[in-house]
Amino acid sequence: MESKAVRNKRGGVLLRLLIGIVVLLLLAGAWLVWYVAPQKKLDLAYTPVDFGPKLLQMVKNHSPVLTLSEDELNQLCKKGLNDHIAEHPSTFVRITGAEFAQNGNRLTMDITGKAGPLPFGATFGMLMEVSPEGGGMLTLHHEYTEIRGRKVPDGFLSLSEIRVPLREHMPLMVEVKSMTLLDSGIRISFNVDWNNLLNLLRKLT
């Protein structure tokens, strides 16, 4: 039979092993919290883009072309993201802030959010497409997700397609003809009935 001393020794070894496992789990948890913690303070607030002055200047120049800056694109995309979140609510993973940066037809979207009670930060790589149909549409497609510069497995933290309509920012009197992505910003060309210039001016003032 096993002696009491041997049983006590074995019990002590198991207890130390259990304590070691608990400590390792606590350290791993603390490291995970640190690793995914947001590195930026972001929110979902945006400034509506006012197309009015740009369209007025376009009319005065008699040139049916305007350019949106990268900052204006950022504001439009943040509004599109807000609308997307409202249409696709999530009870576990929630985005609480975002900031976009453009490089031609690609965007990086730095985000902050919460997975349950755990705050996290990540970067989404997005492919941007533009179409003049429907009054002008920006469509953002998720390509990859990074946390602290390292890609996470596909599907682990992703975002479905985001659509950003431009029509709601413009009067019906102008029709988008084409959209061109620049390195920074977007160039938009219009079909304009120049015979109705006076009506357009009155509508925008």
Q: Residues 64, 190: contact at Cβ < 8 Å? A: yes
Distance set, CA 197 to CA 124, 150, 188, 192 (Å): 42, 53, 18, 9
Residue 10 region by backbone torsions, left for phi larger than 0, else alpha for psi between -120 and 50, else beta: alpha
Distance CA 16, CA 9 (A): 11
Distance CA 66, CA 76 (A): 15
pLDDT tens for 6-26 read: 555 565 667 777 877 877 777
Q: Which residue has the tokens 């990540």?
A: 122
Low-confidence ranges of the chain (pLDDT < 50): none
pLDDT tens for 145-181 read: 999 888 988 877 888 999 999 988 877 777 899 999 9
- Reported for 31-37, long-range contacts at CB under 8 A and 24+ positions apart, including other chains, are 33/118, 35/147, 35/148, 36/118, 36/119, 36/120, 36/121, 36/122, 36/147, 37/119, 37/120, 37/121
Q: Which residue has the tokens 């409202």?
A: 86
Closest CA to 139 of 76, 69, 190: 76
pLDDT recorded at residue 12: 65
b/e code 156-174 from CB counts within 10 Å (16+ = b): ebebeebebbbeebbeeeb
Distance CA 201, CA 205 (A): 6
Distance set, CA 181 to CA 110, 151, 189 (Å): 20, 26, 12
The residues, any chain, with a CB within 8 Å of residue 1's CB and separated by 6 or more, are: none
Name residue 77's beta-bridge partners: none
pLDDT recorded at residue 9: 58
Distance CA 123, CA 119 (A): 14
